[in-house]
Structure 1
Amino acid sequence: MTKEEIFGYTPDPQYNKAVAYFSMEFAIDQALKIYSGGLGFLAGSHMRSAYELKQNVIGIGMLWKYGYYDQFRDLNAEMKPMFVEKGYSFLKDTGIMFTVPVHDSPVHVRAYLLQPSTFGSAPIFLLTTNLNENDEQSRSISYKLYDSNEATRIAQSIILGIGGAMLIDKLGLNIDVYHMNEGHSLPLNFYLYSKYQNLAEVKKRVIFTTHTPEAAGNEEHRYALLKEMSFFYHLQDHEVKHILNLEGDSLNYTVAALKFAKKANGVSKMHAEVAREMWKGNPGICDIVDITNAQNKTYWKDDELEKALANNDDKAIVARKKEMKRQLFKVVADQCGKIFDENVLTIVWARRFAGYKRADLMMRDWDRFIKLVFNADYPVQVIWAGKPYPEDYGAIEQFNQIIRRARPLANCAVLTGYELALSALAKKGSDVWLNNPRMYREASGTSGMTAAFNGSINLSLPDGWVPEFAKDRKNSFVITPADNNLSNDEKDHREAESLMDTLENTILPMYYKDQKKWLSIIKTAAADVAPAFDSGRMADEYYKVMYNV
């Protein structure tokens, strides 16, 4: 394929340096289910903005047969993960097939292209092993995003990293920068090392974005297993240790990526500080700067609300916001049999379900929560949505416990199927976007950006991107964090109290008694969130700070 066939456009000269962006997931459109959550949403927005700016960027990802998983309900209306085969006629078969060594055996890989014109993104090549030429074990590598089997997970990284780099060579593309979005594509570096036989030559070409602000969450595996799986391409494990000055029995993907890259970035100012502190004890790592994540406003915004905001038309803002709430409430009625009222303040907690995100923090003081939801003077409606990892049984139980507790409450609902389409409805249909993770655990947390595009006010702890944006009671509401030296239980208690105090004493009275002030916060947030947190800024910043240096 020629470069013209791949892009369909001529890159802008200021973005002429050729970049390959490796990511295990991309959330480009509801129709293409190859993502799980925030990492994919971020990658999707990056590719959309790269297209809008006409950057010389291609994406390298995986074509997952079953996607992440489909979220349904069982006979008790509780969450049930299901794996349903997907098919995509809109992807272009490049006709390119090649083999990648996995476990010292050749695994056949085929490349498909998501063309820029399909959804308005930079071109993205998607790799699959689900081919007749492979045995079942090899085919299963590209079945499930983040497969729970350790060997399969390692093989997925091999196909993404080494397979992606092989594809680039087969296409004859001269890539200047290989951008690893998180550490999943780490084997790419071992392929490049075998090509250039020099760490300095690899470092000239590789940059790395880290997303996980705690050491335990960064993937690592035993050298012996990685060597057995052909993770190091043609290198021996003792050579890897020597090249990267590493010791021990396990390889940490993030540490290795920081040693292979010329430069790395955290995804918010706060996260970059945490990352620098977390990895500073490792000699030979690259600098870690901050490039704050962002979301693509063109994709996420509502055009009518955008027009009303631009015209400073309060009446139109209120009318459109109610219409967007009604659209969300159709889903509530369909899934839960509950009729919500567009005139009632609606709080939404919706994101990936993980323990540290504390989806049930509002419910910690159950009596206080019940008092809140039965307050006739200041009525509220609460919606939860999100996907736990399909084998994170603790998070699934938390999800189901919220379902059980919300079921008898006519103004509380838990929605399933949290993907791009429902995410957009939730952001457009909420009045308050609730974000209450444990502090310093949220690297960025971009969902609040898209909420602010759509007239939903952030109620958040000052973690991730929030300190760079939030001005309490001017463009958002900030929950006061507890002393970090306290136990998790005590922090949960105090931050739940602060959350409920803010709702009861500030948010509810303002929404029902001071519409002018409420609308002022909506308008200030919309003005403050873009362009600073539009991914056009982010995609441009990557060129200026990372690619062109």
Structure 2
Amino acid sequence: MMPPNPDKPPAPIADPLREKLSAKVAYFSMEMAVDEEIPTYSGGLGVLAADTLRAAAGSLLPMVGVTLLYRRGYFFQRFDAQGWQREEAVAWSPENVLCELSERVSVVLEGRTVQVRAWLFWIRDAGEGRVPILFLDTGLPENSEWDRALSEFLYGGDNRYRLCQEVILGIGGVRMLRKLGFERLELFHMNEGHSSLLTLELLEEEAKRAGRTEPTSEDIEAVRRMCAFTTHTPVSAGHDRFPLDMVKKVIRLPAIADGAYKGRFCCDGEINLTHLAFEFSHYINGVAKRHSEVSRVLFYPATIDSITNGIHLPYWASRPMQDLFDRHIPGWRADAFSVRYAIAAPLEEVQQAHEQSKAQLIQYVNRETNAGMNPDVLTIGFARRATAYKRPELILTDIERLKRISGVKGPLQLIFAGKAHPQDEEGKRAIQRIMQSRIRLLPEVRMIYLAEYDLALARLLVAGVDLWLNTPQPPLEASGTSGMKAAINGVPNFSVLDGWWIEGCIEGVTGWSIGPDHYQRKEGSDVQRDARDLYDKLEDVIVPLFYGDSEGYTRVMRQAIALNGSFFNAQRMLQQYVLKAYFA
């Protein structure tokens, strides 16, 4: 049985945007994972965006979200008989879950006027709070076939397609907010660089307000005071760049872009949307302390602060775990910091809550895949985007040793999930190799790779496995939040010291690390060394603790909840944004 969904929109009201005049912060993100029935997300970026807005709803923060509508989603994942990922368009109907608004705005793309509409969704926390989200859509009959297709796929198409989508998000998003009456906005928060073209619209607004035809340096400073930017990608190749000639064909750049300020817009004949966001934001942050350190080197001399990501606890805690918190930590939904009191919860109740969640997961896996998983066996979960730097095959580096650990120390079973980008051939090959390893692991280790990793499956996995595995190549993990979701469900992390885990890992207390401390690492990463350390800790520490000292393992589970869950949450994260970026 799938977990309940707390984000269903309430019944329509006479004025669907009656709170519009109170919104002071506009939060822009290319993707948002707001509901299981709205497939407008690919992974962590969209999940973080939704959790941020849930936290805003819970805190009654006057915020509005802006994203794009993708009528065919990211993609629906299937595997063929050889274990190769196949992508299918997602079949969903926006009118069944969203409310269409009557207002229209337009943007000019390559000289064509493109009409844009918005669909409304209310995202809620566990109480009465809610925040409006606007899904922008060009699927209108008055647009050309190509322009209508801009609302089809997330991260689909070529550079031209991507640039046009980002014009709609940034420039079209600001225009839609104005059209709908969001006139009290004080801050525009760009979640990654996809929306940074909104700064050009704000520049134009400032110039018009002063009666000028083109913006000046004073306008740049005014826009900077209105903008904040969060970067998520610690490698230069992961940031959107477009040739300047292409950009000039798609949109009209302000004259200031060719003057003394050209360097702020363009470098080596390209516009880098991350650099654009840097130049027009008064506050910039990375998503973990280590990520900010890496970003300051990558984007020197930019000043980049850190606000470590967090998750919305009421959404990600399983029902059995919520019941445990309700008994022992009254008010935890409104006060995430109070989850630290889980340290006093009876161990047997923590274990019982986890067993209920694990039973749900194993029942689902066996029903869907006939994998024959056993609820009494130590179950390791690995679920995230399938790409090379995540190193999903690290635990399979030495299959014979893994089988020996399972046969001698105690049985193991592995559950994998995650999508590879349709153009990531190496990511697809990694999935295929993992799936083809299944027979080699038998009979000592049972393993399954689950298709179509989405919100519903993620909520089952993070609550139902016994150990959450994460093996990225440092320092390429910006933050990661799946391990935080596991922690609030009493599932210890077993992870490379990168991203948030550097801050969350207390060895043997909240979980376990893989490999050396990040400050001891040289450039790159030693796969064989990390694999040996993974196997050593499994063999000598984790498996013996799980099977030989159940109370000791449950104590680690309880400490993960109290120490990790009480800090790595969206409520704390949002409070830091309010103090540092929004109303500083």
Question: 2:264 pairs with 237, 244, 260, which one?
Answer: 244
Match among 239, 246, 249 for residue 218 of structure 1: 239
Matched, 1:158 2:198: no
Helix, strand or coil at the partner of 2:131: coil
CA drift of 1:512 comes to: 0.3
Code of the aligned partner of 1:268: A
Look up the SS of the partner of 2:427 in the other structure.
helix
1:342 corresponds in structure 2 to 375
SS in structure 2 at match of 1:545: helix
Aligned residues of 2:466 and 2:492 also touching (Cα < 8 A): yes
- Deviation per CA, 1:390-442: give whole Å up to 9, x if none: 12111011111111112463611110110100001111111000011011101
2:386 is equivalent to residue 353 of structure 1:
yes
The one-letter code matched in structure 1 to 2:161 is T
Amino acid at match of 1:515: S
Answering whether residue 261 of structure 2 is matched by residue 280 of structure 1, we say: no
Q: Tell me what 1:498 maps to.
A: 533
1:452–1:526 CA contact under 8 A, matched in 2: yes
The TM-score, its normalising length taken from structure 1, stands at 0.93
CA distance in 2, matches of 1:269, 1:296: 20
- Which residue, out of 28, 31, 35, partners 1:29? 35
How has the CA–CA distance of structure 1 residues 134 and 290 changed in structure 2, closer, same or farther, with 3 Å as cutoff? same
Q: 8 Å contact 1:148–1:391 — kept in the other structure? A: no
Which secondary structure does the structure 2 equivalent of 1:542 belong to? helix
Question: Residue 10 and residue 62 in structure 1: after superposition, are their counterparts in 2 closer, same or farther (change >3 A)?
Answer: closer
Matched, 1:260 2:280: yes
- In 2, Cα distance between the equivalents of 1:421 and 1:189? 35
One of 108, 112, 116 as aligned partner of 2:115: 108
* CA apart distance, 1:223: 0.7
Is structure 2 residue 478 aligned with structure 1 residue 446? no
Moved more, 21-30 or 476-485: 476-485
Instruction: Letter of the 2:291 partner, please give it.
Output: H
Distance in 1, matches of 2:380 and 2:146, equals 45
Change (3 A) 1:17 1:79: closer
Secondary structure of 2:237 counterpart:
helix
Q: Which residue of 1 aligns with 2:331?
A: none
Distance (Å, rounded) in 2 between the aligned partners of 1:523 and 1:228: 57
The residue number in structure 2 matching 1:296 is 312
Question: Secondary structure, in 3 states, of the residue corresponding to 1:192?
Answer: helix
Q: In structure 1, the residue corresponding to 2:354 is in which secondary structure?
A: helix
> 1:306: Cα distance to partner?
3.9
Change (3 A) 1:335 1:436: same
Cα 1:366–1:70, aligned 2, differ >3 Å: closer, same or farther?
A: same
Is residue 420 of structure 2 the alignment partner of residue 382 of structure 1? no
- Secondary structure in 1 aligned to 2:437? helix
Q: Map 1:8-407 to 2 at 5 A.
A: 18-88=24-94, 89-116=96-123, 121-174=130-183, 175-196=185-206, 197=215, 198-230=219-251, 232-235=252-255, 238-239=258-259, 241-242=261-262, 244=264, 246-281=266-301, 285=302, 287-308=303-324, 310=328, 312-373=345-406, 375=407, 377-407=409-439
Contact 1:19 1:177 in 2 (8 A): yes
In structure 2, distance between residues paired with 1:235 and 1:532: 46
| 2:316–2:485 Cα contact (<8 Å) kept | yes
SS at match of 1:159: helix
- Residue deviations 1:456-494, cap 9 Å, x none? 110011111112111000111111238533654xx1110
CA distance in structure 2 between the aligned counterparts of 1:224 and 1:147, rounded to whole angstroms? 21
* 8 A Cα contact 2:510 2:560, kept in partner: yes
After TM superposition, the structure 1 stretch with the greater mean CA deviation from structure 2, 185-194 or 335-344, is: 335-344
Distance change in 2, residues 1:240/1:78 (3 Å)? farther
Per the TM alignment, residue 81 of structure 1 is displaced from its structure 2 partner at its CA by 1.0
1:461 aligns with 2:496: yes
SS at match of 1:383: strand
Structure 1 unpaired stretches of 5+: none
Superposed counterparts of 1:412-451, under 5 Å: 412-451=447-486
When residues 179 and 401 of structure 1 are mapped into structure 2, their CA distance, relative to the original with a 3 A threshold, is same
CA contact (8 A) 2:124 2:130 kept: yes
Return the offset for 1:315.
2.7
- Give the drift of 1:79: 2.2
Q: Which is worse superposed, 21-30 or 312-321?
A: 312-321
Deviation for aligned residue 1:245: 6.7
1:242, distance to aligned residue in structure 2 (A): 2.5
Cα distance change, pair 367–235 in 1 and its aligned pair in 2 (3 A) = farther
Letter of the 1:380 counterpart: L
Matched residue of 1:460: which SS?
A: strand
Question: 1:268·1:444 contact (CA, 8 Å) conserved in 2?
Answer: yes
**Which whole-Å CA distance do the structure 1 matches of 2:29 and 2:529 have between them?**
38
CA contact (8 A) 2:57 2:125 kept: no
1:234, distance to aligned residue in structure 2 (A): 4.8
Using a 3 Å threshold, how does the CA distance of structure 1 residues 246 and 110 change in structure 2: closer, same or farther?
closer
What's the counterpart of residue 509 of structure 1? 544
| Equivalent residues of 1:17, 1:548 under 8 A apart | no
Over the matched positions of the two proteins, sequence identity in percent amounts to 32
Instruction: Kindly state the Cα deviation for residue 10 of structure 1 after the two structures are TM-superposed.
Output: 9.8
Q: Cα distance 1:439–1:323, how it changes in 2: closer, same or farther (>3 A)?
A: same
RMSD: 2.2
State TM-score, norm by structure 2: 0.87
Q: Is the 8 A contact 1:457 1:521 kept in 2?
A: yes
The code of the aligned residue for 1:484 comes to: R
Q: CA deviation at 1:191?
A: 0.9
- 1:227–1:236 contact (8 Å) kept in structure 2: no
Q: Is structure 2 residue 507 aligned with structure 1 residue 475?
A: no
* Change over 3 Å in CA distance of 1:37–1:392 after alignment to 2: same
Bigger mean CA offset, 271-280 vs 503-512 = 271-280
Q: For the residues of structure 2 that align with 1:386 and 1:427, how far apart are their CA atoms?
A: 13
How far apart are 1:228 and its partner, in Å? 0.9
Aligned pair in 2 of structure 1 residues 75, 20: CA closer, same or farther (>3 Å)?
same
CA distance in 2, matches of 1:290, 1:127: 30
